[in-house]
Structure 1
Amino acid sequence: MPKVSVKVKWGKEMYPDVEVNTDDEPVVFKAQIFALTGVQPERQKVVCKGVTLRDDSWANFKLSNNALVLVMGSKEEDVPAAPVEQTRFVEDMNESELATALDLPEGLINLGNTCYMNATVQCLKTVPELKNALLGYDPSSGGGTAGGLTSALSETMRALESGGAGACAAAAARLLNALHAAAPRLAERGAGGQLAQQDASECWTEIVRALRMRLTVAPEPNSKSLIEQYFGGTLDVELVCSEADEPPTRSNETFLQLSCFISQDVKYLQSGLRSKMAEQITKMSETLGRDAVYTKTSKISRLPAYLTVQFVRFYYKEKESINAKILKDVKFPLELDVYELCSPELQERLTPMRNKFKELEDASVEKSLNAKNKSHGDSKKENKKRSIVPYWFENDVGSNNSGYYRLQAVLTHRGRSSSSGHYVAWVARGDAWLRCDDDTVSPVTEEEVLKLSGGGDWHCAYLLLYGPKILEVPEEEEEPMVTDVTEGPAGNPPTALA
């Protein structure tokens, strides 16, 4: 009998008729207890008939209908703590901060070293096309562990959109189970039996891999993956041997993210990306019959709408047997231009949209200079409706047609090793920014986000997610194809299929 109804007693509080499904892992039950009591799962001691519930097994913990389950543990707010930040009063907030503070979205509770998963989900949630596809996903479509992970992520997105803390807690627990099933290495436990901290980049990769298999953009079985369409780019690659007179070798490669390698000379994201595009590698030379040094030059030939960048901050330290962290400060911009990383052919295709951005910026500057001399008629003209110009090429929905990006999410790590420390998501919502620290969501400023560039023991950027910079024009100037980017491309909305 997998489902039973029990009574949960915490201190003087009694919660009757709590339904428990023992087919789920115990962490799901602990998430339910959190929703009832506010006691974090890692602070709970759950006892029934003298047996303590483990996180990973129901062994010896026998539940029956009307059984009494005792919960011991205190809420974090019950433990006195010194304030870490100066109190901010509503009167001191600007308009965007006030709007955000009064309508903060839900967070995801930490089920025991699961901050890496929570931060990944909050960052991916900022992609409207992906979020909408997940909200419409059919959980009965099967698909093995990839389907299970996609289904669990779909449930989590729905809980974050419209559910309360209890729904989000249960969804997070099921998502963790699905993630462990899809990637067993992420289910490792420490010496004390607790879940081990995992690398957020590995979690990101596993989730994206599952979504790549399960989400398509049209009803046809062989349709393109939504992930490939909106996150996937291509590179024109040329290999030239530095030690022999060989003809250059040319090929194409695909990518779902770019890497920013951190060396002594890299101080800015752009220079780290450039260095990766021109690098020295060693490979077998058929002319010399041995390994030789080659110069590998890469140019982007297709830009995705959403560009993921990983700072390569971790390296394996043999002496301590850990993935040690590079703390170096590497600045990143709120607006990123990758034109110089593109092939000449793509640069030519990007030019028309870039010119439109420049024309709009020039017009804005001119209007600002002439603001004092504006007539009432001109002022009225300023209030006209504006339309969004498509950010993709007409024959390539999900691409980027300008090379301009706007930062919309930062996943940070605080600590000295990938297997320890803490992960947090910092996400843009309109003109405001939010810090999603597990189930605590709070407003932050752009200045605070830009301070996540590293250089010390504070949170530093590990993964960046850039979205397309949007061009808005007065309605009479609008392009033939106009869409609201929050709902996906007109005529080609993302569809979640089996």
Structure 2
Amino acid sequence: MSAFHVKVKWGKEMYPDIELDTGEPPMVFKAQLFALTGVQPHRQKIMLRGATIKDETWDGIKMKDGVTILMMGSKEEDVPVEPTEKTSFIEDMTEAERNTMLQLPVGIKNLGNTCYLNAVIQCLKTVPELHSAIKEYKPKQPESSSLLTLAVDSASLLTLAIQDCYKTMNSGKTAVPLILVNLFRTTFPKFAEQGEQGKFLQQDASECWTELMRLLMQEITAKDPEKTAQNFRTSLIDQFFSGEFSCEWKCVESEEEEVTKSTDNFQQLLCHISQDVKYLHTGLVARIQEQITKKSAILDRDAVYTKKSKISRLPAYLTVEMVRFFYKEKEAVNAKILKDVKFPIVLDIFELCTEELQKRLLPNREKYKDMEEREIEEERALKRGKPGDVIKKPKTRSMPFSFEDDLGSNNSGFYQLQAVLTHQGRSSSSGHYVSWIRLKGKEWLKCDDDEVTSVTEEEILKLSGGGDWHCAYILLYGPRILEVVEEGEETEVETKIGEET
């Protein structure tokens, strides 16, 4: 027997009926207590009959139903103390210390073939709406007060673990995701595969991305759902990551069968890599029309259909998967396509949209021309000037990127790359995964687990494949923000060349 119902005493509080499973690591139990009390797992000390329960194992602990477990720990942060270390100079700091001092994003510790999970977590953190929602997340309260004492479900616990991970990173500390990894493997057992020596195996980052998005769709509620299109009000993931295809089906083998229409939702666009695909846009366009075999009601047998798909709803954040892996039966592995496929920093998806959506996008698209002309003129001014020279720019404001009646949509068809998840190696279940995230402007960061370094935009464009270097696997595009000049505002912003421009 591994499942027990126990009592937990914390200060003056008593939780009379908590479910505890000794088949899972104690860190999972600590996550349950975190969900109920708000005490961070690393601040918890859990004792049973004088023995302290460890994080990794229940060894030496005799559990039984109805036993009272004592939890010690507070929700308050540690009181700051006067530093005892001597003053550190930036040139003497480690890379991690410099990142903290300069308030750069920090990384996540690899706990043994967990780079696939780390990379996904880093990429998703770049979406402000999702990051904010996870920070404010609270598990759904049971309808009956008596149910409060039951174990919080694994989806809620895992979301709280992501919240804890982000909280640690936001404080400038490297995250050590013990609870997150344990809960992820418990919730999704296929990611808990072990090799002959008991070592956890590498996993596919794309599958990890898909599972986490499904889980967050269940846990993170929509933001102002009444302002969103009817079919995308279920969750924040639906609002900001889901698009819609309008599809037409034509039977190739029967002229009598009429064209039928359908709609499909999507959270990713796929770029299949063939010999002819050299650019991302080519791969996406190729998916507009495809041949599919299905049952024909008129012919009463399977027949070939031409399916034409156009986008009728664009999400604010567009995820694109480069389909780089295919299954090799002989070796029983997902082999990798190393072909070089160029992807842009700014992506225009207008051509893939229905005529109706294109008409809605056009008014907003016209406004981007003025912004592009201003950006070109500013680039010229920077090239003409010298360090210390002052250039003047008009004061601007950011415009909404969604349609007024559909919060979380994209109202222009223009996207800007904000994160890239890459793979280095020859199969999805081996090698190494890394995330590359936009910091600001043309400044990017390479997040290689807990090692975070600055890189240029040119280095990002070199992730297109063609060899054993990191190849782009998942591209995350965010809305390209439209900046317009303030009407009636004569004030100009003065900036010295060499400073923030």
TM-score between the two structures when normalised by the length of structure 2: 0.72
**Amino acid in the other structure paired with 2:197:** G
Check the 8 A contact 1:120/1:204 in 2, yes or no.
Answer: yes
Query: Match of 1:125?
Result: 125
Check the 8 A contact 1:122/1:425 in 2, yes or no.
Answer: yes
**Amino acid in the other structure paired with 1:213:** Q
Are residues 1:208 and 2:249 paired?
no
TM-score between the two structures when normalised by the length of structure 1: 0.73
Q: Distance in 2 between matches of 1:477 and 1:210?
A: 47
Q: How far did residue 26 of structure 1 move?
A: 7.6
Query: Match of 1:146?
Result: 155
Helix, strand or coil at the partner of 1:281? strand
Query: Match of 1:403?
Result: 413
Helix, strand or coil at the partner of 2:487? helix
Q: Distance in 2 between matches of 1:395 and 1:418?
A: 40
Query: Match of 1:312?
Result: 323
Are residues 1:425 and 2:435 paired?
yes
Check the 8 A contact 1:452/1:460 in 2, yes or no.
Answer: yes
Helix, strand or coil at the partner of 1:476? coil
How far does the alpha carbon of each residue in 1:11-62 deviate from its partner, in whole angstroms, 9 at most, with x for none? xxxxxxxxxxx9973889xxxxxxxxxxxxxxxxxxxxxxxxx997555799
Query: Match of 1:189?
Result: 194
| RCO higher in structure (CA 8 A, sep ≥6) | 1
Q: How far did residue 385 of structure 1 move?
A: 2.9
Query: Match of 1:238?
Result: 248
Q: Distance in 1 between matches of 2:100 and 2:475?
A: 22
**Amino acid in the other structure paired with 2:421:** L
Check the 8 A contact 2:105/2:172 in 1, yes or no.
Answer: no
Two-structure CA RMSD over aligned residues (Å): 3.5
**Percentage identity across paired residues of the two chains:** 54
How far does the alpha carbon of each residue in 1:246-293 deviate from its partner, in whole angstroms, 9 at most, with x for none? 111100000011111111111110011111111111111122222111
**Amino acid in the other structure paired with 1:335:** V
Check the 8 A contact 1:104/1:442 in 2, yes or no.
Answer: no
TM-aligned CA distance change 1:23 to 1:433, over 3 Å: farther
Are residues 1:355 and 2:366 paired?
yes
Q: Distance in 2 between matches of 1:300 and 1:231?
A: 13
Query: Match of 2:85?
Result: none
What pairs with 1:40-439 in structure 2 (closer than 5 Å)? 58-59=58-59, 102-139=102-139, 141=141, 144-162=153-171, 164-165=173-174, 168-169=175-176, 172-218=177-223, 224-245=234-255, 246-362=257-373, 382-431=392-441, 432-439=443-450
The number of equivalent residue pairs is 399
Are residues 1:455 and 2:466 paired?
yes
Helix, strand or coil at the partner of 2:306? strand
- Stretches of structure 2 that go unaligned for 5 or more consecutive residues are 1-5, 9-21, 29-53, 63-89, 92-97, 143-151, 385-389, 490-501
TM-aligned CA distance change 1:200 to 1:61, over 3 Å: farther
Helix, strand or coil at the partner of 1:216? coil
Q: Distance in 1 between matches of 2:331 and 2:270?
A: 25
Q: How far did residue 364 of structure 1 move?
A: 5.2
Q: How far did residue 103 of structure 1 move?
A: 3.3
Q: Distance in 2 between matches of 1:433 and 1:363?
A: 23
Q: Distance in 2 between matches of 1:24 and 1:162?
A: 29
TM-aligned CA distance change 1:101 to 1:346, over 3 Å: farther
